[in-house]
Amino acid sequence: MEEKNVGSIKISEEVIAEIAIKAASEVDGVARVSQRMLDNAKKLITNSKTPLVKGIQIITGPEGLLLTLQIHVYAGRPIPRVAEEVQRCVADAVSSMTGISVSGVNISVVGVMPEKSVPDGE
């Protein structure tokens, strides 16, 4: 059977950002994903000429997408391990859901939060 092109498919940066946020949020140890990049962190880790989408910087390059996210980690969790898992999960989710290669995922840990305690019986 012959395949033919019937049109184009475009995936918005907002959709890519949503996928990245959801994937990062599901990693054990992530308290939350910041959807607003802090000014100091933005200067340190991003190209300030590139706009942010839902707090995530998305740069399209020859090797694929380069994403930059900020996360808050639960206190007592090993930050490097949590950040590496976020990198892996975000890259896998974006790549598998969009078909677009991900060249890298930069993570900036901008906060540590106490674990929420669940009262007995809930």
* Exposure letters 14-42 (e unless 16+ CB within 10 A, then b): eebbebbbebbeebebbbebbeebeeeeb
CATH annotation of 17-113:
3.30.70.1350
Each residue of 26-68: pLDDT tens digit? 999 999 999 876 545 555 544 555 667 888 999 999 999 999 9
Higher pLDDT, 111 or 117: 111
- How high is the pLDDT of residue 12? 93
- How high is the pLDDT of residue 37? 61
The domain locations on the chain are 17-113
pTM over 0.85: no
